[in-house]
Chains A and B, each alone.
Chain A
Amino acid sequence: MQKNVTIDINGQPHRQAVEPRLLLVHFLREVAGLTGTHIGCETSLCGACTVLLDGRAVKSCTVLAVQADGRSVTTVEGLAQGDKLHALQEGFWEEHGLQCGFCTPGMLMCSHDLLANHPTPTSADIREAINGNVCRCTGYQNIVNAVKNASRKMAKRVSARAGAR
């Protein structure tokens, strides 16, 4: 009944025999012990559980762990490099893009998907990209500012790197 799966999470392989009905979010939180990914609604409606599966944002409460076998998953814990926060995390910090923080991991991962495809999004693009993520605190405006802040930073770093070459 159980099935062996190996999931690469933030660059580390995690191997475990699991029941096929185990959801990816439970694999992340309970098997890998990575509790940064939150469970909000459990009904595919709030986006709190968003992670990247092979680089694309998905709701980890609506993917089976066995479907992520052999694939790579990035969670909020995989964003920072050691002590150095990711530009998106800096953006949320500087623009007060969070209050209670419950929605934040999902917001960060969804914004990551956006910036990978759309490095310089407009406010409308950002609102469209996070329209599957619910925040009960901020009223969204500071989240939009935070993603813009990050996109400016990332663009600057890309041009600095290009200049250094």
Chain B
Amino acid sequence: MYPRAFHYHRAGSLKEAVTMLSQLGEEGKLLAGGQSLIPLMKLRFANPKHLVDLNFVPGISYIKEDKGSLRFGALTRHAEVEYSATAAKIPIIHDCAAGIADVQVRNRGTIGGSIAEADPSGDWATVLSTLDTTIRCLGRKGERTIPLSKFITDAYTTALGPEEIVSEIIVKNPPKGSGGAYLAFKRSAPVYPTASAAVQLRMEGDVCEDAAIALGCVGLTAIKASQAESALRGQKISETTMNAAAEAARAAADPQPDMRGSAEYKRMLVGALVKRAIELAIRRARGEQVEVSHLYA
């Protein structure tokens, strides 16, 4: 299976990549880890005439701690995040990186490519929308930063201009007393999840001071379940409040039936995932070390 023929350009820097993209116009496309783009090109769903390869740009693959934030270079591979002690300081980020596909895909796929692809089932967008995340972009007119909530505008659609690229992803460290967890339900490793839930809480004793809940694979983008968040915020966490949050999450989901399951099935699933993720998030907020791994059918 061959992609349609194309011209290949190797960028030496992010700036050069922007220049190349502006010269190539509509016909140019960036290549990062290639784990979404190359399969699409082989199936001829994507047929770019020119590829601009970022893989030879030095210094754009890193995880840095900086002024209360974590900064991820656009080309940081999922596996680098998985093995990073720095990234593990925000456990939900480790959950995400370690659960994407299989080791081969994690060794190639990048956080920048994943955010830019804006796949409705992509794990990064779901997880990072429960944290204070901004996307740094570089274009012909210079740099700008866009909050993640404004960056992904629709399925496979972002706020990026045609010659603009993602340079960095910045995640603020959650405040003290926080804990989070990400759970995805999958049929097998090398496929996208059937449904997923990311929960990030700030606890004070038994009371939930703040909550962020995002649902993956059950809408055109990750869905922020604000009613589910309100069901927890300011409340003492009990079976009743958790069930209320799960119920609100089911209502917020907008799933499509497909080969992975009916809409009703996915709705039930997402509610159950939210409840389990809340339980795990609370344990982590208390300082417990909890390993989380995705659930397989």
Contacts and interface: CB of A to CB of B under 8 A. Distances in A.
Contacts of A3: 8
A20 B108 contact: no
Interface in A37-69: 42-45, 47, 50, 53, 56-59, 61-64, 66-67
B114 to A, nearest CB: 15
Interface string A124-155: 00001101110000000000000000000000
A79 B181 CA distance: 39
Contact of B190 (A114, A117, A129, A132): A132
Nearest to B102: A132
B55 interface: yes
B188 A42 contact: no
Contacts of A132: 101-105, 189-190
A19 interface: yes
Contact of A1 (B5, B51, B103): B5
- Select the residue from B3, B39, B104, B293 with max chain A CB neighbours within 10 A: B104
A44 B190 contact: yes
B39 A131 contact: no
Interface string B185-196: 000111100000
A113 interface: yes
B6 interface: yes
Given A1-B5, A3-B8, A67-B34, A59 B104 contact: yes
Contacts of A115: none
Contact of B107 (A21, A56, A64, A67): A56
Interface string B21-40: 00000000001001100110
A133 B102 CA distance: 9
Interface residues of B, number: 33
Interface in B283-297: 293
A113 B82 CA distance: 15
B103 A57 contact: yes
A62 B38 contact: yes
A124 B122 CA distance: 25
B1 to A, nearest CB: 5
- Select the residue from B1, B6, B42, B190 with max chain A CB neighbours within 10 A: B190
A63 B51 contact: no
Contact of B104 (A42, A43, A50, A66): A50
Interface in A50-105: 50, 53, 56-59, 61-64, 66-67
A131 B104 contact: no
A107 to B, nearest CB: 12
Contacts of A57: 103-104, 107
26 contacts: A1-B5, A19-B5, A21-B5, A22-B2, A42-B1, A42-B42, A44-B35, A44-B38, A44-B190, A47-B102, A47-B190, A53-B107, A56-B107, A57-B104, A59-B104, A59-B108, A64-B34, A67-B31, A67-B34, A67-B53, A117-B83, A129-B103, A131-B102, A131-B188, A132-B101, A132-B104
Interface of A: 1, 3, 19-23, 42-45, 47, 50, 53, 56-59, 61-64, 66-67, 110, 113-114, 117, 128-129, 131-133
Given A19-B5, A21-B2, A62-B35, 14 more contacts: A21-B41, A44-B105, A57-B103, A58-B104, A58-B107, A62-B39, A62-B108, A63-B34, A64-B34, A131-B189, A132-B101, A132-B102, A132-B104, A132-B189
